[in-house]
Homo-oligomer: A and B are copies of this chain.
Amino acid sequence: MNGQLVNSPMKQSSVRSECLSSHNVKELLDSVDAFLFDCDGVIWKGDKLIDGIPEALDMLRSRVLQFLFVLIYWGKKLVFVTNNSTKSRKQYAKKFQSLGIPVSEDEIFSSSFAAAMYLKVRNFPTDKKVYVIGEEGILEELELAGFTGLGGPADGKKTLELKSGFIFEHDKSVGAVIVGLDQYINYYKLQYGTLCVRENPGCLFIATNRDAVGHMTDQQEWPGAGCMVAAMCGSTQKEPIVVGKPSTFMMDFLLQKFNIATSRMCMVGDRLDTDILFGKNSGCQTLLVLSGVTNLSTLIDSANDIKPDYYTGKLSDILKLLK
């Protein structure tokens, strides 16, 4: 993982990806006021913390610089931006706490929250309902935002008997279908969501994200929201509005909340097509960590034209490089 990855002149992407080193790590830290972190593959895998994470986050939060003989506090703002929609922000804060990392709800931007905020921004009528192909996190965020959600885990055990004369009824007041990662995906939900999108006039089709796979457990990758979203695209023949990474929708909220220019933010992630692309689309600096779904071969493959500014094995490498 040493050296530089120079782009092929054929590719239209950033000039190069630099391996993080003791030479450039200070330059990166000094040029950044806020770090945006993806969670799965950066902070944890499934329910297991990745090596050295508490120490690395702690250092970034409480960074102190010595200028001549004066110590200057220069702690970084930390934000956790996750495409995983199975939890709400509240549930994520609890997960962080259970892993021994103090993170407040305000520092978390999950795609479940983004989906609810998308409806809020669009002034989605509160007398309309929202059908959810996904898990508890989306329903919780909808409720907190004042919307009525249907479906989700409650429809996970529903079965069908496809016999002559049977009519599958759906709620005509559903005005949006939100699709996220759903380990309880079934034909009932797919038919419900499909009928709403095809038959309810103006019904929105919203995807929390389109990640192909994710670390649902620490040992393996599993089909991600991209699988369920594609299924709905297959039956409705429509394309969704995507609110998670790499869509810049969440960035609008971050910018409203923190008065920091995107050029002084660094997006840290393990996926090229969501995290790094999101960072680039938003004008942030970008750091790829190889502790998740992307390996070095994929990064340097000539077919890949999404190049982060920096890359390293795992986040806590920063600590070693600063020593």
Closest CB-CB distance, A196 to chain B, in whole Å?
A: 13
Q: Are B168 and A220 in contact (CB under 8 A)?
A: yes
Q: Which of A185, A226, A230, A236 has the most CB of B within 10 A?
A: A230
Stretch at the interface among A32-40, A187-195, A310-318: A187-195
For window 73-89 of chain A, which residues contact chain B by CB distance below 8 Å? none
Partner of A230 from B184, B222, B231 at Cβ < 8 Å: B231
Interface string of A162-197 (1 = CB under 8 A from B): 111111100000000000001111110011001000
Partner of A190 from B47, B160, B223, B235 at Cβ < 8 Å: B223
The oligomer's copy count stands at 2
Q: Flag whether A123 is at the interface (Cβ < 8 A).
A: no
A236: chain B residues within 8 A (beta carbon): 212
Q: Flag whether A46 is at the interface (Cβ < 8 A).
A: yes
Q: Are B219 and A166 in contact (CB under 8 A)?
A: yes
A227: chain B residues within 8 A (beta carbon): 190, 194, 231-232, 234-235
Q: How distant is the Cα of A186 from the Cα of B155 in the complex, in angstroms? A: 13
Q: Flag whether A48 is at the interface (Cβ < 8 A).
A: yes
Closest CB-CB distance, A91 to chain B, in whole Å?
A: 15
Interface string of A190-229 (1 = CB under 8 A from B): 1100100000000000000010110011111011101111
Q: Flag whether A237 is at the interface (Cβ < 8 A).
A: yes
Partner of A212 from B48, B187, B237 at Cβ < 8 Å: B237
Q: Are A164 and B235 in contact (CB under 8 A)?
A: no
Partner of A223 from B167, B184, B194, B210 at Cβ < 8 Å: B194
Q: Which of A167, A185, A223, A232 has the most CB of B within 10 A?
A: A223
Q: How distant is the Cα of A238 from the Cα of B308 in the complex, in angstroms? A: 24
A183: chain B residues within 8 A (beta carbon): 160, 162, 187
Q: How distant is the Cα of A182 from the Cα of B47 in the complex, in angstroms? A: 32
Q: How distant is the Cα of A187 from the Cα of B230 in the complex, in angstroms? A: 14
A186: chain B residues within 8 A (beta carbon): 184-186
For window 230-246 of chain A, which residues contact chain B by CB distance below 8 Å? 230-237
Give the nearest-CB partner of A163 in chain B. Answer: B217
A217: chain B residues within 8 A (beta carbon): 162-168
Q: How distant is the Cα of A197 from the Cα of B130 in the complex, in angstroms? A: 34
Closest CB-CB distance, A145 to chain B, in whole Å?
A: 27
Interchain Cβ contacts under 8 Å between A and B, 27 examples:
A46-B162, A46-B164, A47-B164, A162-B183, A162-B222, A166-B219, A167-B217, A167-B220, A168-B217, A168-B222, A185-B231, A186-B186, A187-B222, A187-B223, A194-B213, A194-B227, A212-B234, A212-B236, A212-B237, A223-B234, A227-B232, A227-B235, A230-B230, A230-B231, A230-B233, A230-B234, A230-B235
